[in-house]
Protein backbone atom coordinates (compact mmCIF):
# COMPACT_ATOMS: atom_id res chain seq x y z
CA UNK A 1 0.00 0.00 0.00
CA UNK A 2 1.13 3.52 -0.75
CA UNK A 3 0.25 6.13 1.83
CA UNK A 4 -1.17 9.32 0.30
CA UNK A 5 -2.25 11.25 3.37
CA UNK A 6 -2.42 11.04 7.16
CA UNK A 7 -4.43 12.98 9.70
CA UNK A 8 -5.63 12.57 13.28
CA UNK A 9 -9.28 12.60 14.28
CA UNK A 10 -10.56 14.66 17.23
CA UNK A 11 -10.53 11.49 19.38
CA UNK A 12 -6.80 11.11 18.50
CA UNK A 13 -7.38 8.15 16.19
CA UNK A 14 -4.66 8.21 13.52
CA UNK A 15 -6.10 7.83 10.01
CA UNK A 16 -4.27 7.20 6.73
CA UNK A 17 -5.53 7.24 3.17
CA UNK A 18 -3.67 4.65 1.10
CA UNK A 19 -3.95 3.12 -2.34
CA UNK A 20 -3.11 -0.30 -3.66
CA UNK A 21 -3.77 -1.57 -7.17
CA UNK A 22 -6.03 1.41 -7.85
CA UNK A 23 -8.17 0.86 -4.75
CA UNK A 24 -8.37 3.59 -2.11
CA UNK A 25 -8.34 2.52 1.56
CA UNK A 26 -9.11 4.33 4.77
CA UNK A 27 -6.70 2.87 7.33
CA UNK A 28 -7.10 3.15 11.10
CA UNK A 29 -4.17 2.36 13.39
CA UNK A 30 -5.05 0.84 16.75
CA UNK A 31 -3.12 -0.47 19.72
CA UNK A 32 -3.55 -4.22 20.00
CA UNK A 33 -2.74 -6.52 22.89
CA UNK A 34 0.64 -7.51 21.47
CA UNK A 35 1.42 -4.59 19.16
CA UNK A 36 -0.05 -2.27 16.56
CA UNK A 37 -3.03 -3.26 14.43
CA UNK A 38 -4.48 -1.74 11.28
CA UNK A 39 -8.03 -1.78 9.96
CA UNK A 40 -8.16 -1.16 6.19
CA UNK A 41 -11.50 -0.33 4.57
CA UNK A 42 -11.95 0.24 0.83
CA UNK A 43 -13.45 3.73 0.63
CA UNK A 44 -14.85 6.02 -2.04
CA UNK A 45 -13.65 9.60 -2.54
CA UNK A 46 -16.92 10.82 -1.03
CA UNK A 47 -16.51 8.65 2.10
CA UNK A 48 -12.94 9.90 2.59
CA UNK A 49 -14.06 13.52 2.12
CA UNK A 50 -16.79 13.04 4.75
CA UNK A 51 -14.27 11.67 7.26
CA UNK A 52 -11.71 14.39 6.47
CA UNK A 53 -14.31 17.13 7.00
CA UNK A 54 -15.63 15.55 10.21
CA UNK A 55 -19.10 14.90 8.75
CA UNK A 56 -18.79 11.20 9.53
CA UNK A 57 -16.76 8.94 11.74
CA UNK A 58 -14.03 6.77 10.23
CA UNK A 59 -15.77 3.88 11.99
CA UNK A 60 -18.83 4.48 9.85
CA UNK A 61 -16.66 4.02 6.75
CA UNK A 62 -15.17 0.84 8.25
CA UNK A 63 -18.62 -0.58 8.93
CA UNK A 64 -19.91 0.36 5.47
CA UNK A 65 -16.89 -0.12 3.20
CA UNK A 66 -17.30 0.12 -0.55
CA UNK A 67 -16.82 -3.67 -0.93
CA UNK A 68 -18.62 -4.85 2.21
CA UNK A 69 -15.35 -6.17 3.66
CA UNK A 70 -12.38 -4.85 5.63
CA UNK A 71 -8.87 -6.18 6.03
CA UNK A 72 -7.48 -6.35 9.55
CA UNK A 73 -3.76 -6.73 10.22
CA UNK A 74 -2.78 -7.73 13.78
CA UNK A 75 0.67 -7.91 15.28
CA UNK A 76 1.05 -11.22 17.11
CA UNK A 77 3.20 -11.87 20.19
CA UNK A 78 6.01 -13.35 18.10
CA UNK A 79 6.13 -10.16 15.99
CA UNK A 80 4.50 -11.68 12.92
CA UNK A 81 1.47 -10.06 11.27
CA UNK A 82 -1.86 -11.87 10.83
CA UNK A 83 -4.21 -10.71 8.09
CA UNK A 84 -7.96 -11.32 8.15
CA UNK A 85 -10.70 -10.31 5.73
CA UNK A 86 -13.97 -9.72 7.56
CA UNK A 87 -17.46 -8.91 6.31
CA UNK A 88 -18.61 -5.51 7.51
CA UNK A 89 -21.87 -7.09 8.68
CA UNK A 90 -19.87 -9.27 11.12
CA UNK A 91 -17.92 -6.42 12.74
CA UNK A 92 -18.65 -5.35 16.29
CA UNK A 93 -18.92 -1.62 16.92
CA UNK A 94 -16.06 0.86 17.19
CA UNK A 95 -12.63 -0.23 18.35
CA UNK A 96 -13.89 -3.73 19.15
CA UNK A 97 -13.36 -4.62 15.47
CA UNK A 98 -10.15 -6.38 16.49
CA UNK A 99 -12.25 -9.06 18.16
CA UNK A 100 -13.48 -10.07 14.71
CA UNK A 101 -9.99 -10.72 13.34
**How many domains is the chain partitioned into structurally?**
1
Determine the structural domain holding residue 36 and report its residue range. Answer: 2-100
pLDDT 10s digits, 50-81: 999 889 889 899 999 999 999 999 899 998 99
pLDDT 10s digits, 26-44: 999 888 788 888 999 999 9
pTM: 0.84
Which sign, positive or negative, has the C-alpha torsion 47, 21, 8, 74?
A: positive
Amino acid sequence: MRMRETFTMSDRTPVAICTELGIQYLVLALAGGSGPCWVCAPASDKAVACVRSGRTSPWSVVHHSSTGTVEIYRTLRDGSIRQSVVLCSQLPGGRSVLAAA
